[in-house]
Amino acid sequence: MSDFDYDLFVIGGGSGGTRAARMAAGETGARVGLAEMSRYGGTCVIRGCVPKKLMVFASEYADVAEAANDYGWEMTRGAFDWPSFSRHLNAELDRLEQVYRDLLSKAGVTTYDARATLRDPHTVELSSGEVVTAKHILIAAGGHPVRPDMANADLGLVSDDIFHLERLPKSILIVGGGYIACEFACILKGLGVDVTLYYRGAQILRGFDDEARGLIAEEMGQRGIEIHTGTNIVEMRCAEEGEIEDPDEARMGASVDQIGELAGDSGLATQEREDDTEAAERKGPIWVKSTNGGEHVFDAVLFATGRKPNTDDLGLEAAGVQLGRRGEVKVDEYSQSSVPSIYAIGDVTDRVALTPVAIREGMAFVDTVFRGEPTPVDHAYIPSAVFTQPEMGSVGMTEEDATEQEEVEVYCTSFRPMQTAFIGRPDRVLMKLIVSKASRRIMGCHIVAPGAGEMIQLAGVAIKMGATKEDFDRTCAVHPTMSEEIVTMRKPVRSG
């Protein structure tokens, strides 16, 4: 009999942690405990991918009536009912959280609704007062959005807060230029909010392919999103009465009771809901001064300026776990930390902050530790999508990164798709392949188009398998589709 209470104790009930716990308990027979201080499902299910994507769907209906009229239908656009959508959204999140709880229970995982901290490499102390020991500990605590270090930053929202608003603001300033900033800019614009975006860099979506992100910026601008690059906030405060055009309409705020009602409060994680509504209780509007000297008043300000691993006050350093400069747990290719008994996966490691990656890391951890099959985490050729309007899908290297590595050929086309060109809209899409001159292998694929996330998943299979440009050329096109261009581009537009 082991001297430990558990073979594995997991800190964090997000997608990565729950997958590791379920596999270890249900498939290898390990004794597993898991602690989650908030809601099961983590960032993705509760305050990230899932609610955001449902908001994307909602926002995309804004132009349906107008497009349908152009196609011969008689339709009238109605108003968007945020409280109704919010109730439905939160009921769905409650359902998904219960699914996570049920899956853990069926796998035989013992769960603790408590905050966990480390006493030493094998001991976990829970906020409920219990102390447990484990042969292995897996840190899967995720990350959180951060506000900039400036006066009155607490007046602004972060991405978590968007899902807890009583009603939508009439205008919003989004600070940041990454995928979260751009996705919420498109979502909120589609839901009827006037959106302005400040980004201190020269172009939004840094790190993505230059040509692709340029088209995204252009399309966002055509949809009425006001983008100011090279711009940041230097000062913000509550707007004074004389600065507010319509003080009654500009007010936005919600009490904890109102949020509980909107959320269809099931009794799950009530404290987190109360914590998450702090920003919703901050009254707008907000006066902002920018680096270019402009002064404006917005109903709300959303900071999408970065995320930080949830490692504060976990007892990691006291247990001997080495952290990086951003507070991330430093791990090797097997997700093992500097302490042999402690592993970490997901956003807390600041490697690739994507839910499917955290799940893969959790599975590799179980193979390595509980199946005796050392499995390094594979972070090569990971497909990803940015759910702007239009979407962007990417897999592999950008043109800029690839050309620094070797000689490449670039195949690219941008055009007006049939569906919107027919009704006279200026929307454009982009299909792009980066090809190694030496091996002919496709090093990168980038798509900007409606449904690009769906397309890139399928392209990612071929590219992960090592497909060459000639493999794509041999593939027959599906006509008429946007995606057929991926296999019909014959001449490179440039090389180098």
246 — phi, psi (to 5°)? -140, 85
**Are 307 and 145 contacting, i.e. CB atoms less than 8 angstroms apart?**
yes
Q: Is 460 annotated as a binding residue?
A: no
β-pair type (131-139, 6-11): parallel
Neighbouring-strand partners of residue 495 = 409
Is the pLDDT assigned to residue 178 strictly greater than 80?
A: yes
113 versus 262: the higher-pLDDT residue is 113
6-144+308-371 and 148-240+283-304 have identical folds: yes
Confidence of residue 271 (pLDDT cuts 50, 70, 90): very low
* Domain assignments of the chain as residue spans, ordered by start: 6-144+308-371, 148-240+283-304, 383-495
Does the pLDDT of residue 30 top 50, yes or no?
Answer: yes
Residue 193 scores a pLDDT above 90: yes
Q: Would you say 53 is a known binding-site residue? A: yes
Q: Say whether 182 counts as a known binding-site residue.
A: yes
Which residues are registered as beta bridge partners of 308? Answer: 144
pLDDT value of residue 226? 98
Mean pLDDT over each residue of the chain, to the nearest integer: 93
Asked if residue 16 belongs to a known ligand binding site, the reply is no
Does this model's pTM top 0.95? My answer is no
Residue 470 scores a pLDDT above 60: yes
Is 46 known to sit in a ligand binding site?
Answer: no
- What average pLDDT does range 26-33 have in this prediction? 98
**pLDDT score of 311 more than 70:** yes
pLDDT of 72-117, one tens digit each? Answer: 999 999 999 999 999 999 999 999 999 999 999 999 999 999 999 9
The pLDDT assigned to 244 comes to 79
Indicate if the pLDDT at residue 277 is higher than 60: no
pLDDT tens-digit profile of 290-309? 999 999 999 999 999 999 99
Mean pLDDT for 370-389 is 97
88, 136, 144, 479: which one is catalytic? 479
Residue 382 vs residues 134, 354, 385, 440: alpha-carbon distances, Å:
33, 9, 10, 19
pLDDT at 2: 73
Whether 296 sits among the annotated catalytic residues: the reply is: no
With 70 as the cut, is the pLDDT of residue 255 above it? no
Of the candidates 51, 311, 38, 62, the residue with the CA atom closest to the CA atom of residue 183: 51
Annotation-wise, does 181 bind a ligand? yes
- Known binder of ligand: residue 183? yes
Residues 390-406: what's their mean pLDDT? Answer: 98
**Is the pLDDT assigned to residue 272 strictly greater than 60?**
no
C-alpha span between 323 and 314 (Å, rounded): 12
Q: Please give the average per-residue pLDDT across 59-71, as a whole number.
A: 96
Q: Which residue has the higher pLDDT, 333 or 274?
A: 333
Question: Is 1.10.10.10 the CATH number for 148-240+283-304?
Answer: no
Question: Percent of the chain at pLDDT above 90?
Answer: 91
The per-residue pLDDT for range 202-217, each reduced to its tens digit, is 999 999 999 999 999 9
* pLDDT at 270 > cutoff 80: no
What value does the mean pLDDT take over residues 138-156? 97
CATH classification for the domain delimited by 383-495, as one of 3.40.50.261, 3.40.50.720, 3.30.390.30, 3.40.630.10: 3.30.390.30
What's the burial of 258, exposed, middle or buried (CB within 10 Å: 0-12/13-18/19+)? middle
> What average pLDDT score do residues 317-341 get?
97
Average confidence (pLDDT) over 412-435:
98
Q: Which residue has the higher pLDDT, 81 or 257?
A: 81
Distance CA 379, CA 461 (A): 14
Mean per-residue pLDDT, 339-349? 98
Q: What is 57-121 written as a DSSP string?
A: HHHHGGGHHHHHHHTT---------HHHHHHHHHHHHHHHHHHHHHHHHHHT-EEE-S-EEEEET
Q: What is 6-144+308-371's CATH number, 3.50.50.60, 3.30.2230.10, 2.30.42.10, 3.40.50.1100? A: 3.50.50.60
d(CA 427, CA 69): 18
Residue 282: pLDDT band (50, 70, 90) is: low
* Backbone phi, psi, residue 122, to 5°: -130, 5
Q: Binding residue per annotation — 241?
A: no
Give the span between the Cα atoms of 433 and 288, in whole angstroms.
Answer: 42
d(CA 265, CA 253): 18
pLDDT average, residue stretch 138-146: 98
275 pLDDT above the threshold of 70: no
Is residue 273 very low, low, confident or very high in pLDDT (cuts 50, 70, 90)?
very low
- Reply yes or no: is the peptide bond before residue 121 cis, omega within 30 of 0: no
178 is in an annotated binding site: yes
| pLDDT confidence of residue 346 | 98
> Is it the case that residue 40 has pLDDT exceeding 80?
yes
